[in-house]
Amino acid sequence: MFAQVLVQTYDYPSATEMRFNSIPPGYARAIFIFRMPKSKARIQLGLTNLQHLNSLPNLDSLLGECLQAIRGIVDSTPVDNIARRIDAIPIDQKVEIRTISHESNQNTMVYQQGILQNFKIDQDTLRISFYSYNEKSFRRYAAGFISVHVNFLRDLYSLPPQVMDSSVGLLRKYFTADVISSINERESISALFDLSQGVIINPGVESLKKMGKRAYYSTTNNQGKVLPAIYGSLQYVRGALAPSFATGLSYVISDNKWNDHRVYLMWEPYFLFSRESNQLRTDRNDFITLRKVEYDKPEKGGWSFVQNFSLGYLVGRRGNWFEPNTFKFSLPGVRNYTMQLEPEFYFNGFFKNFSPSLRFSLFFE
């Protein structure tokens, strides 16, 4: 009997693909698109990090260098319905070039006024990759790319003069140094501009002003909503281990991939147990609690600091566990997803009978 061994191989990208597509689609954290409606041309500027906007090379110079290098290719390319792409890398005083033709596009046709003819849908593209230099590691890395989309390759030579300088100037008009410095480096940013009119289309100006604030991210879903809330807790208080649960409402200030910020108004019954004459006795003490919680969500999980503060008042009392008019408050602690550990303190009057506690909570959100 022979054992059958299955070997699965992985097709790694070719060296050519890795060189000319050094920033694959979807890997640029910052994408900016500049439309020129009259000519239907558009320019896409992609950056691996938004901070690279502060150290861009002369993009018009790079574009001019590449247009000069590919002139012979463009002049010999027929005007047909095949979409073509030219990849260019200006580096070390030379321009490396790759051409790609999408032959499948020649199957698109249109029938109009009794005539069947070719129909081109996709535009031709010139994609220029540019590099930056890391002084610490003495290595070059791909910082971004320019992708120019035109109806036909020959239209590349009809672009407005200093088109990249105009594009970057328009971009910096809205993405100021203050906006850039306030946005998290891990955050993905995109924007659409009308280069002909010199305005931003999306996001709106008001949304742009909020960028970088903790309460704003493009992934915000429940912002500004009032939602039902519930969590269970276990705390050591007044010499006894007391379970509790809380139910009420939460107002969501922000809830997104990186940050959660809420305010809670909760009813919290505490259950304390004792024995009298071999009989188990349960005393329920009710608190009304106002709680504010804000924490960052670590990319890899784990415990992290949580900005937590709560203030509660005893509204229902049984047994001698708490004095009348008892208050409680909690301070910042640590959190891991829905689990939270925090210090809590109880007192009545002007900090009489002050006693500390440690509270563990599980939030159901």
> Each residue of 14-32: pLDDT tens digit?
778 777 777 776 678 888 9
Residue 216 domain-assigned?
Answer: no
Residue 1 domain-assigned?
Answer: no
Q: What percent of the chain has pLDDT over 70?
A: 83
Based on the fold, state whether residues 183 and 289 are members of the same structural domain.
Answer: no
Residue 159 domain-assigned?
Answer: yes
Based on the fold, state whether residues 231 and 202 are members of the same structural domain.
Answer: no
pTM comes to 0.54
Based on the fold, state whether residues 157 and 37 are members of the same structural domain.
Answer: yes
Average pLDDT of the residues of the chain: 83
Residue 6 domain-assigned?
Answer: no
Number of folded domains in the chain?
Answer: 2
Joined tokens for residue 344: 């809590």
pLDDT over 60 (residue 1): no
Based on the fold, state whether residues 100 and 245 are members of the same structural domain.
Answer: no
Based on the fold, state whether residues 120 and 66 are members of the same structural domain.
Answer: yes
**DSSP collapsed to 3 states, the chain:** CCCCCCCCCCCCCCHHHHHHCCCCCCCCCEEEEEEECCCCEEEEEEECCHHHHHHCCCHHHHHHHHHHHCHHHHHCCCCCCCEEEEEEEEECCEEEEEEEEEHHHHHCEEEECCEEEECCCCCEEEEEEEEEEECCCCEEEEEEEEEEEECCHHHHHHCCCCHHHHHHHHHHHHCCHHHHHHCCCCCCEEEEEECCCCEEEECCHHHHHHCCCCCCCCCCCCCCCEEEEEEEEEEEECCEEEEEEEEEEEEEEEECCCEEEEEEEEEEEEEEEEEECCEEEEEEEEEEEEEEEEEECCCCCCCEEEEEEEEEEEEECCCCCCCCCEEEEECCEEEECCEEEEEEEEEECCCEEEEEEEEEEEEEC
Based on the fold, state whether residues 122 and 146 are members of the same structural domain.
Answer: yes
What is the CATH classification number for the domain harbouring 287? 2.40.160
- The answer to which of 117-126, 241-250, 252-261, 327-336 has the lowest mean pLDDT is 252-261
- Domain end, chosen from 178, 210, 242, is at 210
Residue 3 domain-assigned?
Answer: no
Residue 325 domain-assigned?
Answer: yes
Based on the fold, state whether residues 187 and 321 are members of the same structural domain.
Answer: no
- Domain end, chosen from 210, 237, 257, is at 210
Based on the fold, state whether residues 236 and 202 are members of the same structural domain.
Answer: no
Distance of alpha carbon 299 from the chain centroid = 11
293: confidence class by pLDDT, cuts 50, 70, 90? very high
- Domain end, chosen from 186, 210, 234, is at 210
Residue with token string 């009304």:
288
Residue 299 domain-assigned?
Answer: yes
Query: Could you list the residue range(s) of the whole structural domain that residue 325 is in?
Result: 226-364
pLDDT over 70 (residue 211): no
Based on the fold, state whether residues 329 and 188 are members of the same structural domain.
Answer: no
336: confidence class by pLDDT, cuts 50, 70, 90? confident
Residue 140 domain-assigned?
Answer: yes
Q: 172: which residues sit within 8 A by CB, 6+ positions away?
A: 53
Based on the fold, state whether residues 278 and 304 are members of the same structural domain.
Answer: yes
Based on the fold, state whether residues 45 and 151 are members of the same structural domain.
Answer: yes
- The answer to which of 116-120, 256-260, 341-345 has the lowest mean pLDDT is 256-260
357: confidence class by pLDDT, cuts 50, 70, 90? very high
Based on the fold, state whether residues 331 and 268 are members of the same structural domain.
Answer: yes
pLDDT over 60 (residue 148): yes
